[in-house]
Amino acid sequence: MFSRLKPKSNQFYELFMSSGAELANATKVLSQLLEPEPDIPEISGMMVELEHQCDMVTHELFRTLNSSFITPFDRSDIYLLGSCLDDVMDHMEAAVHLMALYRVTELPPHLREVIDILDKCAQQTSDAMPRLSSMKNLEPYWIEINGLENQGDRIYRTFLAELFDGQLDALTVMKLKDIGDELEDAVDAFEKVAHVVESIVLKES
């Protein structure tokens, strides 16, 4: 019983760092879609495995939260941050899964740019998670993520404009839009992670 009263701050921070690292690993796998003739089924399989690993980290985070009497910061913020990190992975895995299902073997240029944005977001997020324990030097992180998300929005709007210009058949348009939506949602989810981190820092400062 008394073990439940002991702070588990280090474990929470370690789990957040693990989630960040999994996202960075996932965007490296996602970047394989940019190679000539990518093996979509293989990439999809790797993303499924990474999504499973991320789920395991998230479940461990929630188990730790439920069994801890004392937490390093607000319980609802711990839950929200863990959920948001998991959402990023879900959207990235879904995008690749749709490519496999739809038999899409090549992404248009603007979606390739979105993948590059995702890789930068993942690196920024992974680098930021170790600083969460000190709550220091995190402002540049959420500012950078906000800028990347704005850039991703512009790229996505341009993608939509070109997608609906009448050059492609309706089925192809539908497939590419579904994939693009998931990639865009992943960028948005990275920004939500940054917003949660900003909120936590402001509350704790």
Q: Residue 1 — very low, low, confident or very high, per pLDDT cuts 50/70/90? A: very low
CATH number of the domain that 21 lies in? 1.20.58.220
20 closest CA partner among 168, 102, 123: 123
3 domain-assigned = no
Q: Look at residue 4 in the predicted model and tell me its pLDDT.
A: 42
DSSP 65: H
178 domain-assigned = yes
DSSP 18: H
Digit-coded pLDDT (tens) for 126-176? 999 999 999 999 999 999 999 999 999 999 999 999 999 989 999 999 999
Residue 50's domain comprises 8-204
Q: Residue 9 — very low, low, confident or very high, per pLDDT cuts 50/70/90? A: low
Q: Please state, as a whole number, how many other Cβ atoms lie within 10 Å of the Cβ of residue 143.
A: 13
**Residue 32, CA distances (Å) to 98, 106, 122 in order:** 16, 11, 15
How many folded domains does the chain comprise? 1
Percent of the chain clearing pLDDT 90 (strictly above)? 89
Q: CA triplet 160, 161, 165: central angle to 5 degrees?
A: 115
Q: Look at residue 153 in the predicted model and tell me its pLDDT.
A: 97
Mean residue pLDDT across the chain: 93
198 domain-assigned = yes
Place of tokens 């050059």: 167
Strand runs labelled E in 162-202: none
1 domain-assigned = no
Name the pTM for this structure.
Answer: 0.93
| Cβ pair 83, 55 in contact under 8 A | no
Q: CA triplet 113, 117, 122: central angle to 5 degrees?
A: 145
